[in-house]
Amino acid sequence: MSVPAVTAEWNCTRCGSTNRKLVPADTARARDRCNHCRAWHLVEPDDRPVRWNARLDD
Ligand SMILES: [Zn+2]
């Protein structure tokens, strides 16, 4: 049995690129790197299921 996964979609606060990361459904916080400018971000779920909040994690 596999763990349900959700797509965490977040906007880079540095360059504005949209990034997507597949995470386990019960994830409360994830760390991901922007595909464009390579800046590390902390991403957390918002009220909406797909769009996550992101902030720089330097
Ligand atoms: Zn970026």
Query: Any idea where the domains of the chain sit in the sequence?
Result: 5-56
Strands 18-24, 40-45: pairing kind: unpaired
Cα–Cα dist 1/11, whole Å: 31
Whether pLDDT at 1 is above 90: no
Task: Work out the number of other CB atoms within 10 angstroms of the CB of residue 44.
Answer: 15
Amino acid of residue 22:
L
Strands 52-56, 18-24: pairing kind: unpaired
Tell me if residue 49 falls in helix, strand or coil.
coil
pLDDT (tens digit per residue) in 22-35: 999 999 999 999 99
Q: What's the pLDDT band for 16 if we cut at 50, 70, 90?
A: very high
User: What is the DSSP-derived secondary structure letter of residue 28?
Assistant: S
Please state the separation of Cα 28 from the chain's center in Å: 10
Please tell me the predicted confidence (pLDDT) of residue 58.
79
pTM of the predicted model as reported, rounded to 2 decimal places:
0.84
Query: Ligand 1 center to residue 2 CA distance, Å?
Result: 31
Query: Ligand 1 center to residue 19 CA distance, Å?
Result: 8
